[in-house]
Structure 1
Amino acid sequence: MKRRLKVLVVVIAAVSAGGAWYIHSKQPVRSGEVSLTNLQAPVSVRYDERGVPHIQAQNEADLYRALGYVHAQDRLFQMEMMRRLARGELAAVLGPKLIDTDRLFRTLGIRQHADAYAAKMDPAKPANQALAAYLDGINQYQAGHPAPLEFDILGIPKRPFTTEDTLSVAGYMAYSFAAAFRTEPVLTYVRDELGADYLKVFDLAWHPEGVLKPSLAANDWSDLNRLASLSQQALAEAGLPQFEGSNAWAVSGSRTASGKPLLAGDPHIRFAAPAVWYEAQLSYPGFELYGHHQALNPTASLGHNQDFGWSITMFQNDDLDLIAEKLNPDNPNQVWYRGKWVELQSREESIEVKGGEPVKLTLRRSPHGPIINDALGSTAGKTPIAMWWAFLETENPILDAFYQLNRADSLPKARAAAEKIQAPGLNVIWANAKGDIGWWAAAQLPQRPAGVNPNFILDGASDQADKPGFIPFSANPQEENPARGYIVSANHQPLPASGIEIPGYYNLPDRAQRLDQRLSDNSVKWNLQNSQALQLDTGSGYSQRLLQPLLPVLQAAASAEEQPLVQLLAEWNGEHTLDGIAPTLFNQLLYQLTDATMRDELGDSFFDNLLSTRVLDVALPRLAADADSPWWDNRSTPAKEDRASTVKVAWQASLAHLRQTVGENPKEWQWGTAHRLTHEHPLGKQQPLDKLFNVGPFAAPGGHETPNNLSHKVGPAPWSVVYGPSTRRLVDFADPIHALGINPVGQSGVLFDAHYSDQAEPYIKGQYVPQHFSEAEVAANTQSTLQLLPTK
C-alpha cells in the first residue's frame, strides 16, 4: 500500500508540475495511423461520441485483430485482473492478503482445465482463428504502448495474453453463476443441525426424507462455512464482473406498434469501473454486428444487426454439486467410490506472492471432482468435500457457440448455436426481422439418481453424486414463436414441456410476473418508448406478499406516534422511487426480521452467508405467513418468543436504526438518500485511491428484484447497490439501425479519459443513447478515426 501511495503522490506531483505527458501517455489513441503486423489490409476504426469503435475490415482475421487492439487500449487493466483472478495469480501483484483467493481459484481447477482444453483446440476452427487474431491484437497493443497507470501503481509486469487466459476467464464467469457453492452448506446445516421444521420455509421442491446424509463433524461444518464465506468474499471484493440475474423479452410483430419483433435485454451484473461490456460495431464483407464483448473474448455475448439480435439471462440451473467423501481410516489418500477404496489424485502448484515466499499447494481430486476444502490449506477438517461442476465435466464449446450465434440469422441456426452452450446455463432470447422470436434454456443438464436433491451436500460413498448421463437439449425449456406473442426471461423457474425437473437456485417469480403482467396486456402495442418504461419499472409485488400477513402484527406493535408509518407500508404499492419513504422502511424491516429470526439459530457466519443467497428471498414471505414457525423463537433467551413479540423487536430496531443513520425525522428517510450506487474500481477499495478511480455515489431508484434491478444485499441502511442492469438494450426490427442502449459507467477503463465515466449520470437517470449502425449515422457521429495499417 505504501508503494501505491508513493506512486500516486508522484503522479499528482508530476501533473501539478506540468508533467501532463505522463497521464497523456496512458490515454487511448483514437486518431492517426498505426502499423500492425499480420494485417492483410488497412482497417478503419471510427470512434463515435461515446468512444465506441466502429471497425471496418476487409476480412475476418483483420477484424478480430483490430478488435483486440482497440479493446486492449481501453480495457487492458481489466483484462489483466480478470485473468489473474481466474488463474489464481492475484497475490503476485496484490500481496499476501490475496493468497486465500488464489488458493480458492487454484482449487476449483479452472487453471488446469483451461490449460488442458487449450492444448486440444483445433487451430483451424474459425472461432479459434478469431480468438488467435484477437489475442494478437491485444498483445501488439500491449507491447507497443506504455503500461496502464494501474500497472505502475501495482508493479504489474507485462506478459502476453494467451488462449489459456481467455478460457480461464470463461471459467471465472461460469463460477460466478454457481450459487450452489454459497447455498448448499447453509441449507445442509439447517436440515441436519436444525431439522425439517426449520427447513420448510425454504420451500425446496424436493423433500429430504429418506435421503442419505453425509457424516460431518463440527470442524467440517466450520470448513463449509469458511468456504462459502471465502467464495462470496472472492467474488465481492474482486471489483470485477459477476453475473447475478437478468431481464430479457422478445415481442412478436403482432404485439408491436411497428409490426416487427422487438427485443429487450438488461443482464444484471455486479457494478464496477470499468463496466463489464465493451461495445463495438464490427464489419467486413458479408458480416456486420453491433456487439457487447467481455474482456478477452472476441465474440459478442450480446448483439444485433439489421437481420437478427439476441440477449441472455442466467438460467440458474444447479450445475455444481458438493460431495462429502468417505475417507479410508487406514489410508488418508483413499475414498470410498462405487464399492471400493480408490486413490485420490494430487498435483502440486505454487502461488507467487508479492513481497513474500511462494506458497506451495497440494491439490487433490476424487472421482467426483476437485477436493475444494484443500483451499483452506492445513486448517481443513478431516472430511474431503469434492465438487462436481458441469463446466469441468462437459465438452462445452462455448467459444464456438457464440461465434455461431454472432452469425445466426435464422431460428435453426440460433438453436444450433444455443445447443453448444453447456456451462454455465444461459437463457438465449432471440428475434429477427423476418418475424421470428425464440428462447432456449441453454445448458447440458446432468441426470441425477431418482430422489437425490442437489440442494444439499451429497454423500460420496453412495450413488447420490453419480451422473449417469445428460438430458438431451431437445428436452430443455424452450419456445419458438409462441401463440401468446411474447417471451419473458427473468431468472424464474422454467416449466419445460418435457416435464423434467431442473434443480436450480432460481430467482423469485415476482419480477417475471410483473413483466408478464404488462406484456400480456393486449391493449398495448409495444415500441421503444413504452419498453423503456418497462425496463425502468421500480415496482415489485414482493413487498406486499411479505407485508400482508405482518400488517396486523405491526399495527399492534406500533405506538400511536408510529401508526402513520405502518399505514405508509399498508398503502405502499411496492414502487422504489427516489423520494419514497416506504421502501426505506420496508428494506430496514426486512433485514431486522431476518436478523431477529435466523441469526440465533445459524450463528454469525452461516447467517452472513445466508444473506447472500437467493433462497432467503423465498423463505421470508413464507416465514411471515407462518405464525407457528420455530424460527420466531430466540434461542438466546429463556423465554419462548412468538411472531408478535419478534416482529415488535424487529420494528423497534428498524426505527431506531433509521433514526440513527438516516435522520431523526421519518420525512428524511427517502429511498434516494439511503440507496446509492458507486462504481468501484479494483484499486478504489482503499483511500485515497477511491477518490480517483471510483465513480459515484449516485442516488439509485429501483431495488432488489424490481425490473429496474438496482439491487443491494439484505442488510441495514444505508444500502450500497451491488448489481443491476449492465446495459439496457432495445431493438425494434422494423428499424434496427436505430437501436438504443446505455453503459452504466463509460466505454473506457482508462483514468482521465473522456469516456471513463461519461455515461454514469445518464444511466442512473434512466436515459438511453443511440447505437449508431448505418453508414450515414456512423459517419455523422464520428469524432475521430484511427487507421490500422499493415506493417510494410
Structure 2
Amino acid sequence: MLTAFRWALRIFTALIVLSVLAVGVGYWFLTRSIPDYNASYKVAGITKPVEIIRNANDVPHIFGKDDADVFYALGFAQAQDRLWQMTLLRRTAEGRLSEIFGPKTLKIDSLMRRLDLYNLAAASFSVQDQQTKTALTAYARGVNAWIDIVNRDALGRGAPEFFLFSNKIATWQPSDSLAILKLMQLKLTGAMQREILRARASLILPPARVKDLMPDDPMKPVAALPDYASLFPGVKKNYAEVKFPTSPLSPVQAPAFAGASNAWAAAPNRAAAGGSLLANDPHLDFTAPSLWYLARLQLTEGGVIGATIPGMPLVLLGRSKDLGWGLTTTYLDDQDVHIEKINPDNPRQYLTPQGWKDFRTQRSIVRIKGQAPVTLTLRWTENGPVLPGSDFDLASITPAGHVASLSWTALTDKDTTMTAMIRLMKAHDIAQGIKAGSLFVAPAQNLMLADKHGIAMQMIGWIPKRDPNNDTQGRMPTPGWLPRDRWDGHFPYSDDPSFINPASGILGNTNNKIVDRPFPLNITFHWGDTQRIQRWLTLMKDHQVQTRESFIEAQLDTVSFTARALLPLIAKNLWYQGEDAPPGTPKAMRQEALKMLAEWNGDMNEHMPEPLIYAAWMLFLQKRLISDELGPLAKDFARPDPVFIERVFRNTDGAAAWCDIVQSTKKETCTDIARISLDDALLYLKNRYGTDMKNWRWGDAHQAAQDNPVLGKVPILHYFVNLRQSISGGDNTLNRGETSASGPDPFLDVHGPGYRGVYDFADPDSSVFIISTGESGHPLSRHYDDLGELWRRGEYIPMSLDPALARAGAVGITHLTPTGAKPKG
C-alpha cells in the first residue's frame, strides 16, 4: 500500500513538474513575439538611418531623413505591434478567412469575393500619385522587414495567434494597404442594408407605417452653429465656397453600427486662448486591440501625429504644426440595390436598356480549412456585382427570375482616396486640406479642419448621380434595366457641401443633417443622428468662448437629450398616479421607478440606477410597439428609435396606431403600452439585478465590450484577452456607448469612440489624444490595455511634436540602419 502511494505521489509530482515546464515553455514561446523596443536592426529598403522612439505610452515617434524611410519605419512599427491584426484585415479583404477558420467564415469570404474589393484595390494602385505610390511601397517594405526578422530570429511567429491559426505570413504588398482602405469603406456604410430593410417593411406595412418606422430626419440642417439671441451672429450656410453577417470578423455592419462620429471646431475669435480648436472622436465597433494605433511621423513637410489604422501608411486623424483634421461619417446614400431580370431563354443573360446582355462571370475557389474547396461563380452586371439571395435576406425582396446587383461608389478601380489622405497629411492650411479632399472617393465623410487662422467643414467623397425621376430615390431597390434607375457617374466636388469660417465661429457635426436640398443632391434621407446634436447645441450655448477643456467636456458628456425629451412624453399619464401600492407589488415597483425617473436629469452615469431603468423601459417599449405588426421582422428594429417613439406618442400622422395590439380585442392606448412595457422592464431587471432597484447600476449592464475577435472566443483564453469596463454614456449621448440591443446582454456597449483627440492651436503641444486599449496587439504585453483605463476615466495623453518630449521617459528607441551601414546602439 505504501509503495503504491509513493508511486502515485511520484507520478503526481512528475505531472505537476511537466505541467509547469509546459506552461513555462509555452509562455517563453509566446513572449518571444513581444518586440524589443531598444533593439537595433540592419535592414534593406531604407537609404539612411531611422529612429523609432517609443514614448512613455508606447506611441512611436518616427524620425528619418526622407518620407519613404519614415513610411518604411511606420510599417515596421505597426508590424511589431499589430502584425496579426494587419494580416487578419488583409485576409478579410481578400476573402481568405476560411483558410484558417474553416466553414464558419465562408459567408464572409463569399461576399468579399463577389464585391471583388481586393482586385479593385490592386488595380487602383496605378491611379495614385507618385508620392502615394512611394509611401505604399516603402510601407510594405517596412512590414516585410519585420516579418523577415521574426522568421530569422524565431521571434514567436510574430504574434501568439499565428501559432493557432496560420502557418505562414505572406509578404506585404502595396495593394494590401489599399485593400484595407476598401474594407473601411465597407465598414462605414449601411445604405444597402437600410434599403433592403425598407423594402421588406414595405411588403407588410402600409406606407404611413413604414414612414413611422423609418422616418425621414425631421430636423433642420445643422453644421455651423446657428444664431442664439445675442450670444453670437447667425450662421452663413454656403455650399459652393470651394469650387449583413454577425461574426466579429465581418466588415459588414448592421445599419445602426455603420459608422458614427463627433467633430467640432472653434475659430480663434471663439477660443479663449485665441487659437483654433478642433475635437474629433470617431465611433466604430470595439475590439481588442483597438482598430486605432497612435503614431507620429516626421515628414519633410513637417511632423504629423494622431490616429492611424494598422495596415495603412496614414495619419488618418490628427494634426501637424499648421493644420488639424478630423472626420465624421456623412451617411451619404452611396449604395443602390438593383433587381436584374434574367433572360428566361438564356440564364447567362440579364436585361439592359439596350436589350439582353451576358453577365460578366468568373470562377473563384475558396479554400476551407478541414473541408473541400468551394467554387463560386461570380457575376457582374453593368450596375455592379450580383449578390446571392441568401445575403442580407435579398431573396425575400427578389422576384422569381431575377437577381440583385449592387451599385456602390467604392466599387471602382479609379479610387484615389489614399492619395487624398496622403496629401491631407502634408497640407499646411484649410485651402490645401479642402483641395486634397477633391480626390477622396469613399466612404463619404465630413472633413473638419482647423488651422491657425480659421475653421472649415467640407464633405468629401463621390455623390452618386441619380436621375431626378428615379423610382424610389435610392430608398428601395429598383429595376436594373430602366435608365432612370441607373447611376450616371457622380456629381462634381463643387456640389459637396462646404462651410468655411462661419460668422458664428463654431462648426460641429454628430452625423446630423447638414443640408436641406432636394433629391438627387439631398445627400441622404437617413442622417445618422437626430439626438446628439441637440445636446451639443446646448453645450455650445453655455460658453461664449471655448477652451480645450470645454471641448473635452463635450466629448465626455453623458447627459441624454433623448431621455430628457422622451420621458415626459411617454410617462405623462403615469407620473404620481393613484395611492401608494403595497410594497413588493409590480405597481409599487412602477411607482418607485417613476419617482426616480421624475427626479433624474438624464445623465447616463455608470453608477446610477436610473439609466438602466430608462434603457430597459425603452427597449421593452420598442418591442411592445412593433412585435405584433412586424412578426419576425421585429428583430431588425429592436433598437429603440427616438424619432419613431416620439411619432407614436405624439400621434404624428396617426402613428399612435402602433399602440394597439393587433391580436387583442381590446383597443390599447399608448398609456397602456407605456405602463405594460415599464412593468416588463422592471421584472426583467429584478430577476437579473435583485429586488432593490436603488442598488442597480447602469455600469453593471453597460460595459464596454472590447473583445479580441479571435482569441476572445476561445474558452479560458477569453478571460485574458477580452477587456470589459463599466462605462457611462448610452446610445444617444455625445460620449456614445451604443448598446447591442439584442442577445443575452442587450445593454453591452459594443460601439463607440475608440479614439479621441482635441487639438489646440493656441498651444499645439497641449493637444491631447487617447485610444480605448493600448498600442500593442499582444495580450501578454503591458501595452495591450494600458491606455484603456485612462480612456474609461475620460483622461487623455499629451500630443506633442516636440522630439525632446518624445524622448523623455521613452520605453525604448529602435534604430534602423540600411544594410551596409554601421548600426547604432
TM-score by length of 2: 0.86
1:262 and 2:277 matched:
yes
Report what 2:146 is aligned to.
141
Report what 2:4 is aligned to.
none
1:161 deviates by 1.6
Q: 1:14 to 1:511 in 2, by over 3 A?
A: farther
1:519 deviates by 1.9
Q: Deviations over 1:627-678 (max 9, x none)?
A: 7533223344455544233333312211110111122211122211221113
Segments of structure 1 that go 5 or more residues without pairing to the other structure are 1-8, 208-228
- 8 Å contact from structure 1 (residues 243, 268) kept in 2: no
Aligned match for 1:48, one of 55, 75, 93: 55
Aligned match for 2:359, one of 344, 363, 366: 344
Aligned-partner residue type, residue 448 of structure 1: R
Aligned pairs for 1:360-375 within 5 A:
360-373=375-388
1:436 and 2:444 matched:
no
Report what 1:294 is aligned to.
309
1:398 and 2:409 matched:
no
- What is the rounded CA distance, in whole Å, between the counterparts of 1:390 and 1:309 in structure 2? 27
Aligned pairs for 1:250-649 within 5 A:
250-338=265-353, 340-373=355-388, 382=400, 383-393=402-412, 395-433=414-452, 435-452=453-470, 453-495=473-515, 500-521=521-542, 523-555=543-575, 559-604=587-632, 606-611=633-638, 616-626=641-651, 628-637=655-664, 639-649=666-676
1:163 deviates by 2.5
- What is the rounded CA distance, in whole Å, between the counterparts of 1:49 and 1:787 in structure 2? 17
1:60 and 2:67 matched:
yes
- 8 Å contact from structure 1 (residues 68, 134) kept in 2: yes
Q: 1:473 to 1:377 in 2, by over 3 A?
A: closer
Report what 2:680 is aligned to.
653
SS at 1:326 equivalent: strand
The worse-fitting range, judged by mean Cα deviation, of 385-394 and 711-720 is 711-720
The worse-fitting range, judged by mean Cα deviation, of 408-417 and 9-18 is 9-18
Q: 1:463 to 1:154 in 2, by over 3 A?
A: same
SS at 2:621 equivalent: helix
- 8 Å contact from structure 2 (residues 127, 414) kept in 1: no
- What is the rounded CA distance, in whole Å, between the counterparts of 2:297 and 2:817 in structure 1? 17
SS at 1:95 equivalent: helix
1:389 deviates by 0.4
Aligned-partner residue type, residue 313 of structure 2: P
Q: 1:617 to 1:138 in 2, by over 3 A?
A: farther
1:159 and 2:159 matched:
no
- 8 Å contact from structure 2 (residues 360, 381) kept in 1: yes
1:245 and 2:260 matched:
yes
SS at 1:707 equivalent: coil
Q: 1:350 to 1:13 in 2, by over 3 A?
A: farther
1:673 and 2:700 matched:
yes
- What is the rounded CA distance, in whole Å, between the counterparts of 2:216 and 2:252 in structure 1? 32
Q: 1:121 to 1:314 in 2, by over 3 A?
A: same
Aligned-partner residue type, residue 710 of structure 1: G
Report what 1:170 is aligned to.
181
- What is the rounded CA distance, in whole Å, between the counterparts of 2:485 and 2:175 in structure 1? 29
- What is the rounded CA distance, in whole Å, between the counterparts of 1:718 and 1:60 in structure 2? 47
SS at 1:358 equivalent: strand
Segments of structure 2 that go 5 or more residues without pairing to the other structure are 1-15, 219-243, 579-585, 821-825
1:12 deviates by 8.2
Report what 2:763 is aligned to.
735
The worse-fitting range, judged by mean Cα deviation, of 459-468 and 160-169 is 459-468
Q: Deviations over 1:311-341 (max 9, x none)?
A: 1111111101111222333322222221522
- 8 Å contact from structure 1 (residues 173, 242) kept in 2: no
Report what 1:216 is aligned to.
none
Q: Deviations over 1:206-232 (max 9, x none)?
A: 99xxxxxxxxxxxxxxxxxxxxx4378
Q: 1:421 to 1:520 in 2, by over 3 A?
A: farther
Count of residue pairs the alignment pairs up: 754
Q: Deviations over 1:465-521 (max 9, x none)?
A: 312342222221111111100110110111168994122531222212221222244
TM-score by length of 1: 0.90
Q: Deviations over 1:351-399 (max 9, x none)?
A: 1101111111011112211111266599967430111001014733011
1:528 deviates by 2.0
- 8 Å contact from structure 2 (residues 123, 413) kept in 1: no
SS at 1:198 equivalent: helix
- What is the rounded CA distance, in whole Å, between the counterparts of 1:569 and 1:107 in structure 2? 50
The worse-fitting range, judged by mean Cα deviation, of 19-28 and 475-484 is 19-28
- What is the rounded CA distance, in whole Å, between the counterparts of 1:200 and 1:136 in structure 2? 53
Report what 1:3 is aligned to.
none
SS at 1:538 equivalent: coil
- 8 Å contact from structure 1 (residues 397, 421) kept in 2: yes
- What is the rounded CA distance, in whole Å, between the counterparts of 1:157 and 1:347 in structure 2? 27
- What is the rounded CA distance, in whole Å, between the counterparts of 2:408 and 2:24 in structure 1? 55
Aligned-partner residue type, residue 767 of structure 2: A
- What is the rounded CA distance, in whole Å, between the counterparts of 2:56 and 2:705 in structure 1? 24
The worse-fitting range, judged by mean Cα deviation, of 572-581 and 325-334 is 325-334
Aligned-partner residue type, residue 535 of structure 2: R
Q: 1:726 to 1:369 in 2, by over 3 A?
A: same
- 8 Å contact from structure 1 (residues 274, 756) kept in 2: yes
1:10 deviates by 14
Q: 1:787 to 1:561 in 2, by over 3 A?
A: closer
Report what 2:801 is aligned to.
773
Aligned pairs for 1:102-117 within 5 A:
102-117=109-124
SS at 1:316 equivalent: coil
1:103 deviates by 1.0
1:750 and 2:755 matched:
no
1:199 deviates by 1.1
Q: 1:232 to 1:432 in 2, by over 3 A?
A: same
Aligned-partner residue type, residue 430 of structure 1: L
1:182 deviates by 2.1
1:709 and 2:736 matched:
yes
Report what 1:211 is aligned to.
none
- What is the rounded CA distance, in whole Å, between the counterparts of 1:233 and 1:624 in structure 2? 36
- 8 Å contact from structure 1 (residues 55, 67) kept in 2: yes
Aligned-partner residue type, residue 656 of structure 1: L
- What is the rounded CA distance, in whole Å, between the counterparts of 1:745 and 1:163 in structure 2? 27
1:537 deviates by 0.3
Q: Deviations over 1:770-791 (max 9, x none)?
A: 1232122122232321110111
Aligned pairs for 1:145-224 within 5 A:
145=150, 146=155, 147=157, 148-202=159-213, 204-205=215-216
The worse-fitting range, judged by mean Cα deviation, of 56-65 and 590-599 is 590-599
SS at 1:138 equivalent: helix
SS at 1:509 equivalent: coil
- 8 Å contact from structure 2 (residues 739, 746) kept in 1: no
How high is the sequence identity, in percent, across the aligned residues?
27
- 8 Å contact from structure 2 (residues 260, 510) kept in 1: yes
Q: 1:786 to 1:242 in 2, by over 3 A?
A: farther
Aligned match for 1:75, one of 69, 82, 97: 82
Aligned-partner residue type, residue 163 of structure 1: P
